[in-house]
Amino acid sequence: MLTRNDQTVTDARKYVKEIAQEGVKHIGFKDIGLPISELKNLANDLRKEDVKIYLEVVSLDVESEKQSAQIAMDLNVDYLLGGTRPDIIAPLVKNHALKYYPFVGIVEDHPSILKGSISEITANARQVAAIDGVDGLDLLAYRFVGEDVPLLIREVCKTSAKPVIVAGSIDQKERIDVVKTTGAAGFTVGTAAFGMEFPSKKTGISGQVESILEMSR
């Protein structure tokens, strides 16, 4: 993700080619941090690199979430992640080609945190996955205020009939390893990469991406 602290980095466009050249096929950004005109330019840059484009909603109010869903459709992104109102958003986007993966559980604040017990989040995941127009789930596992993150991921993945992406605070190999072994379809990295938190052989964002890809194999 071209993001840091739950918003798109202001100079996101300058990293697109560098990241794509490392072999990344899935690149995304948040609905806040850049004006719509710049998000359009960013999406165009990503499309030229032939990658899957993701927009993740972290806006908190209903009108902003609806606006972000409309932006996702206008930009023709491949995936719309996040948001907390699938009952409202799913009907808006279900006839669009994009795939919709809303948050599950109680998501609050910015940067976002995930509240609720594992059983409550799992029950919500089952309900959200059953909504027509929902294609998968976005789980803020490492923003969970509880303790057993691996169990949370396993239970949500086991319960959901649709794929689960783990998002937020993936900042070390151990967390990538957990995601790989608990049934998730994928994960996102943003802040940690731009913070240069992964050990790498090369400097800059390309070194971070290379390291993350190696850990993911």
Full-model pTM? 0.97
pLDDT digits (tens, 9 = 90+) for 99-129: 999 999 999 999 999 999 999 999 999 999 9
Within 10 A of 145 (CB to CB), how many other CB atoms are there? Answer: 11
pLDDT for 181: 96
Question: To which H or E segment does residue 80 belong?
Answer: strand 79-82
- CA pseudo-torsion sign 103, 124, 146, 142: negative
Q: Give residue 117's domain range.
A: 3-216
Q: What is the mean pLDDT of residues 28-43?
A: 97
Instruction: Check: CB of residue 20 under 8 Å from CB of residue 42.
Output: no
pLDDT for 102: 98
pLDDT for 67: 97
**Omega cis (within 30) before 111:** yes
Q: Decide: helix, strand or coil at residue 103.
A: strand
Q: What is the mean pLDDT of residues 178-197?
A: 97
What one-character DSSP code corresponds to residue 143? G
Helices and strands: H and E segment counts in the chain: 9, 11
Q: Which CATH number does the domain housing residue 16 bear? A: 3.20.20.60
For residue 31, give Cα distances in angstroms to 69, 80, 185, 193: 9, 10, 22, 19
What total of structural domains would you count in the chain? 1
Instruction: Check: CB of residue 178 under 8 Å from CB of residue 144.
Output: no
